[in-house]
Structure 1
Amino acid sequence: MHCHATRNVIHLRALLGACIALAGLSSCALLQGSPIEIYYDSGVTAGGVQWEDTLTGSGEPAVEDNTVTIHYVAQLQDGAPVDSTWDRGVPMTFPLSTPPVAGLREGIVGMRPGGKRSMLLPPALAFGALGIPGRVPPDASIHFAVDLISVAQ
């Protein structure tokens, strides 16, 4: 699977400076010294899954022959709920090679345990032209917020 990834950098010192200026404060100890940088990755997979890490985990990244355990929230683009393991109180475990929703394979590959990733699955990798009657309209893109709990061989 080929993926185009981007490393984004937020210069926290500049961001704090703007916030402090808006608040009308003239100086702050946080603005002195070296800049603080926060790195996060984002990208688009070959199949069109858009993703952005909101928290990078640690350890070995997930690969397609792993079994993963995740918590997730799935929503339509307008925010309407589709499904949530958090609501059920039980995470989901599955082989990454055969995920319950096809786009999760592309979206989870490369995540590290403890990581959190936001992803937008295109219709073809979500629920397709049929959708899920009464829950997901046909040809809907689905937003997933995924917490990768563990990766096993």
Structure 2
Amino acid sequence: MHCHATRTLIHLRALLGVCIALAGLSSCALLQGNPIEIQYDSGITAGGVQWKDTFTGSGEPVTEEDTVTIHYVAQLQDGTPVDSTLDRGAPMTFLLSTPPVSGLREGITGMRPGGKRSMLLPPDQAFGAQGIPGRVPPEAAIHFAIELVSVAN
């Protein structure tokens, strides 16, 4: 019996410790409705591509000589879907120096494997004056959400 009582006391003390710790959290900024601001890298490339990392991957940064495999979601600025590898169920692989959309070269360069980046491609870095009939109007900026799945040199 004594052993059972000791274990119960230890469990109660542990529970009390957890309660005290949780009580201290009530003054935590997140629980007070004051979110902590998290800083992410962001920038604008020489070609005008605006980008912001939403998750920084690990490993060596991508260079134009690398072959990249990405998942992406592309949308017009009003949120209208343009294309998505997620909808197709397979990522896209290409040599970064010759991307399917020119602005992706500048926008992806410097990402790290596993990273996620949001970018806005100006019209001349996206589909230009011609757009894509029925899908992308002429002179449209395109928002890309990118996940860098893998990199090969």
TM, length-normalised to structure 2: 0.78
Output the CA distance in 2 between the equivalents of 1:40 and 1:21: 21
Q: Does 1:20 align with 2:32?
A: yes
Distance 2:70 2:108 in 1: 10
Aligned-pair identity (%):
76
1:144 is aligned to 2:137: no
Runs of 4+ in 1 over 3 A off after TM superposition: 36-39
Structure 2 gap ranges (5+): 1-27
Q: Distance in 1 between matches of 2:40 and 2:59?
A: 16
* Aligned-residue offset at 1:40: 1.0
Gaps (5+ residues) in structure 1?
A: 1-15, 23-35
CA RMSD across the alignment:
1.6
Amino acid at match of 1:75: Q
Higher strand content, 1 or 2: 1
Larger radius of gyration: 2
Q: Structure 1 pair 37/127, CA: closer, same or farther in 2 (3 Å)?
A: closer
Deviations 1:86-111 (A, max 9, x none): 00000000000000000000000000
Q: Which structure's residues are more often helix, by fraction?
A: 2
Pair 1:90 & 2:90 matched: yes
How do 1:1-153 and structure 2 match up within 5 A?
A: 17=29, 20=32, 38-153=38-153
Shift of 1:38: 3.6
The alignment's TM-score, normalised by the length of structure 1, stands at 0.78
